[in-house]
Amino acid sequence: MPLVPIVPPAYDVDLDIAYATSRNFTGAPIYRRAAAYLHPDAAAALTRAIALAHEQGLRLKIFDAFRPAEAQWKMWNHTPDPEFLADPRRGSPHSRGAAVDLTLIDASGKELDMGTAFDTFKRQSHHANTEIAAAAQRNRLLLLGLMTSAGWDFYRNEWWHYQLFDARRYPVLGNADVEGGMM
């Protein structure tokens, strides 16, 4: 089944694909092209999350979605840390088109404070961390509520990461599985 391109205006989100820039934990671009794709099941769950965020006067900003298996290997070879990265031998939910990294933004496009930046590989990024400001904890809980209500599961170590509950049932895909590739 082909992946669905997540592009405005079909999806009312902001795209800031971090791995097409140097603003990620590797310090270098991994993708040659900034793009977001999801499996159709994940795209449907994203549509539900977008609607729920709108009810709160908020929008979603996406940092990453489908990640080719080749990109997962690049990340793993840079930082083989299973606390924050899926071992590519098992396959990442991102490489199945069944995961998204994102945050909430207000009407002006400003990111809500989540206590850490995206891709901060520290315990302060864990969902339940209470060492961050109370307002950031509330924002994380708001994002968690929106996403889980829309049908997403969360990864406890990364406030920004959500995946379908049955993500491992989808096949691992690579760069060649997206028209024009990403890498």
- Mind telling me the catalytic residues? 158
Tokens of 133: 């400001």
C-alpha distance from residue 147 to each of 40, 47, 81, 143 (Å)? 16, 10, 25, 6
Contact at 8 Å (CB) between 95 and 178? Answer: no
Coil, strand or helix: which one is 95? helix
Using CA atoms, how far apart are residues 74 and 154, in angstroms rounded to an integer?
A: 23
* Residue 92 exposed, middle or buried by CB count within 10 Å (0-12, 13-18, 19+): buried
Contact at 8 Å (CB) between 42 and 78? Answer: no
